């Protein structure tokens, strides 16, 4: 799945959603043990968002704020 976001708040939602689907623990840090039982459903392919190149921004100025994040479905889910 690939998601393009154009605003920082949208990108934050996508980033946190992907982290939850990746199986990262969402318990508060002061919990003695993990209670959320994370399940890995996807593998994140882009650690940081892919941004448009300078050449692309020159040809399409509206693309300057775009951020692309990509995940791949895991075999287990």
Residue from 64, 27, 68 nearest 47 by CA: 68
| Tens digits of residue pLDDT in 2-44 | 999 999 999 999 999 998 888 878 788 888 888 887 788 999 9
- In this predicted structure, what is the pLDDT of residue 20? 83
Q: Residue 8, Cβ neighbours under 10 Å: how many?
A: 10
Structural domain count of the chain: 1
Q: What are phi and psi of 28, to 5 degrees?
A: -60, 150
Residue from 67, 66, 64, 68 nearest 54 by CA: 64
- In this predicted structure, what is the pLDDT of residue 76? 59
| Tens digits of residue pLDDT in 48-67 | 999 999 999 999 999 999 99
Domain that holds residue 19: 2-27+36-73
- In this predicted structure, what is the pLDDT of residue 69? 97
- In this predicted structure, what is the pLDDT of residue 32? 87
């Amino acid at each position: 799945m690939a998601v393009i976001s154009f605003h920082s708040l949208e990108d934050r939602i996508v980033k946190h959603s992907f982290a939850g689907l990746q199986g990262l623990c969402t318990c508060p840090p002061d919990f003695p043990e993990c209670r959320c039982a994370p399940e890995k459903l996807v593998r994140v392919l882009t650690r940081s968002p892919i941004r448009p190149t300078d050449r692309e921004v020159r040809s399409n100025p509206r693309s300057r704020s775009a951020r692309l994040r990509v995940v791949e479905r895991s075999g287990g889910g």
